[in-house]
Structure 1
Amino acid sequence: MIEARPLIVRLRNFVGDTVLSIPALRLLEQHGYRLELVGKGWARGLLEAEGWAVHVRPNELRPRIAQLRELRRSFRAEDPGFDARSNTLLFPYAFSAALDSRLAGLKAEGHAGDGRTWLLRRGLPRREGRHTLQEYWELACDFLGVQAEPPTDIHMQVSEAQRDAARALLAPLGVEPGRFVLICPFANGRVEFLDRSWPAFPDFVRRLHAAGRRVVIVPGPAEVEGAKQLYPDALRLDGVALGAYNALLQLAGVVVANDTGPAHMAAGVGARLLSIWGPVDAARWAPWGSTVTLMRRGPSEWSSVDEVVLKVDQALP
Structure 2
Amino acid sequence: MIEATSLSSPSERPLIVRLRNFVGDTVLSLPALRLLAQHGYRLELVGKGWARGLLEAEGWSVHVRPAKLSDRVAQLRELRQRLKAQDPGFDRRANMLLLPYAFSAALDARLAGLQAEGHAGDGRTWLMRRGHPRRAGRHTLVEYWELACDFLGIQAEPPADIGMTVTQAQRDAAQALLKPQGILPGRFVLICPFANGQVEFLDRSWPAFPEFVQRLHAAGRQVVIVPGPAEVEGAQLLYPQVERLEGISLGVYNALLQLAGVVVSNDTGPAHMAAGVGARLLSVLGPTDPRRWAPWGSTVTLLRRDEGGWCSVDEVMATVDAALSPALRA
Asked if TM exceeds 0.5, the reply is yes
C-alpha distance in structure 1 between counterparts of 2:186 and 2:35, whole Å: 32
User: Does 1:252 find its partner at 2:260?
Assistant: yes
> Equivalent residue for 1:2?
8
The size of the alignment, in residue pairs, is 317
2: distance between equivalents of 1:95 and 1:129?
22
1:208 is aligned to: 216
| CA-CA distance at 1:192 after TM superposition | 1.6
- Distance in 1, matches of 2:183 and 2:151, equals 46
Match of 2:160?
152
Q: Once the two structures are superposed, what CA deviation does each residue of 1:226-250 show, in whole Å capped at 9, x if it has no partner?
A: 1111111111111111110000000
- Cα distance in 1, alignment partners of residues 308 and 139 from structure 2: 19
User: How far apart in 1 are the matches of 2:164 and 2:182?
Assistant: 27
Please state whether the residue corresponding to 2:298 is helix, strand or coil: coil
SS of match in other structure, 1:222: coil
CA–CA separation in structure 1 for the residues paired with 2:308 and 2:141:
23
Measure how far apart 1:273 and its partner are. 0.1
- TM-superposed deviation, 1:150: 0.1
Compute the displacement of 1:300 (Å). Answer: 2.0
Residues 175-207 of structure 1: per-residue CA shift (max 9 Å, x gap): 010000000000002122110000000000000
1:299 to partner: Cα distance: 2.1
CA distance, structure 1, for counterparts of residue 202 and residue 49 of structure 2? 28
Give the aligned residue type for 2:30: I
In the alignment, the residues of structure 1 paired with residue 256 and residue 134 of structure 2 have an alpha-carbon distance, to the nearest angstrom, of 35
Residue 14 of structure 1 corresponds to which residue in structure 2?
A: 22
Q: Give the equivalent residue in structure 2 for 1:44.
A: 52
- State which of 227, 235, 248 in structure 1 corresponds to 2:235: 227
1:172 positional shift: 1.1
> Does 2:247 correspond to 1:236?
no
1:187 is matched with which residue? 195
| Aligned partner of 2:148 among 137, 140, 144 | 140
- In the TM superposition, what are the counterparts of 1:1-317 in structure 2 within 5 Å? 2-4=8-10, 5-317=13-325
Across the aligned residues of Structure 1 and Structure 2, the Cα RMSD in angstroms comes to 0.7
- Give distance in 2, aligned partners of 1:67 and 1:193: 34
* CA-to-aligned-CA distance 1:43-96 (integer Å, 9 cap, x gap): 000000000000000000111000000000001011010000000000000000
TM-score by length of 2: 0.95
Deviation at 1:36, TM superposition (A): 0.2
Q: Which amino acid in structure 1 is aligned with residue 241 of structure 2?
A: D
Q: Secondary structure at the match of 2:319?
A: helix
The residue identity in structure 2 corresponding to 1:11 is: L
Alpha-carbon distance in 1 for matches of 2:255, 2:208:
27
Counterpart of 1:37, as a letter, is: L
Cα distance in structure 1, aligned partners of 2:300 and 2:8:
36
Q: Which string of whole-angstrom CA distances, capped at 9 and with x for unpartnered residues, describes residues 126-172 of structure 1?
A: 00000000000000000000000000000000000000000000011
Structure 2 counterpart SS, 1:310: helix
Secondary structure of 1:115's partner? coil
Gaps of 5+ in 2: 1-6, 326-330
- Structure 1 SS opposite 2:131: strand
Q: Which moved more, 1:279-288 or 1:130-139?
A: 279-288
Give the Cα–Cα distance (whole angstroms) in 2 for the partners of residues 144 and 206 of structure 1.
50
Post-superposition offset of 1:298: 1.4
Ranges in structure 1 where 5+ consecutive residues have no aligned partner: none
| CA–CA separation in structure 1 for the residues paired with 2:51 and 2:307 | 32
